[in-house]
């Protein structure tokens, strides 16, 4: 009987610890949220830009925020590291100087860069 209680106690303790660790990880990944979240989910419905590289029509504030958090810049400051040679870059079919990124929506420039840059593999 004692052993059974100990096992239950141990299970609850481990379960609680793992839940706390999971919640901490989720907090770090997604932030704690704030009162502005519902408004931030509204889509950007500004007039469409004529330049596709600057066209953020339909890109949500949340996606724009992701771009900021990853410190995306239109012009890389690191030689030989840019979106054009990043493994997460998605070139557009029309082969313009812009494309997409697997990590967030909206256009990125071939010469752009962010902290998630990874080398392209063959
Ligand atoms: S991960 Fe960063 S560097 Fe790579 S394509 Fe996306 S924005 Fe560019």
Domains of the chain, by residue range, sit at 1-32, 36-122
Global pTM reads 0.61
pLDDT in tens, 34-80: 444 444 445 555 555 468 899 999 999 999 999 999 999 999 999 99
Q: Is the CB of residue 103 below 6 angstroms from any atom belonging to ligand 1?
A: yes
* 2: Cα separation from own chain's centroid: 49
pLDDT at 15 over 90: no
If DSSP codes are grouped into helix, strand and coil, which group holds residue 5? helix
Selected residue with higher pLDDT from 81 and 46: 81
CA of 17 to the centre of ligand 1 (A): 35
Q: Which two tokens stand for residue 57?
A: 């029509």
User: How confident is the prediction for the chain on average, in pLDDT?
Assistant: 78
Any ligand 1 atom below 6 A from CB of 114: yes
Q: How far is CA 117 from CA 59, 69, 101, 106, in A?
A: 21, 13, 10, 17
Say which CATH topology domain 36-122 has.
Answer: High-Potential Iron-Sulfur Protein; Chain A (4.10.490)
Question: DSSP letters along 47-83, please?
Answer: PPPSSGGG--TT-BHHHHHHHHHTT-BSS-SSTT-SG
Q: Which of 117, 118, 120, 121 to mutate to test the pocket of ligand 1 (most atoms within 8 A of CB)?
A: 117
What was the pLDDT predicted at 121? Answer: 87
Mean pLDDT of 79-95: 93
């Amino acid at each position: 009987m004692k052993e059974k209680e100990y096992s239950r106690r141990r299970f609850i303790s481990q379960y609680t610890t793992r839940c706390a660790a999971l919640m901490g990880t989720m907090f770090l990944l997604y932030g704690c949220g704030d009162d502005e979240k519902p408004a931030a989910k509204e889509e950007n419905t500004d007039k469409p830009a004529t330049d596709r590289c600057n066209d953020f029509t339909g890109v949500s504030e949340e996606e724009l925020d992701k771009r900021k958090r990853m410190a995306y810049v239109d012009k890389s400051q690191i030689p030989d590291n840019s979106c054009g040679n990043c493994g997460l870059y998605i070139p557009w079919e029309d082969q313009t100087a812009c494309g997409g990124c697997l990590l967030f929506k909206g256009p990125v420039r071939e010469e752009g860069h962010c902290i998630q840059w990874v080398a392209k593999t063959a």
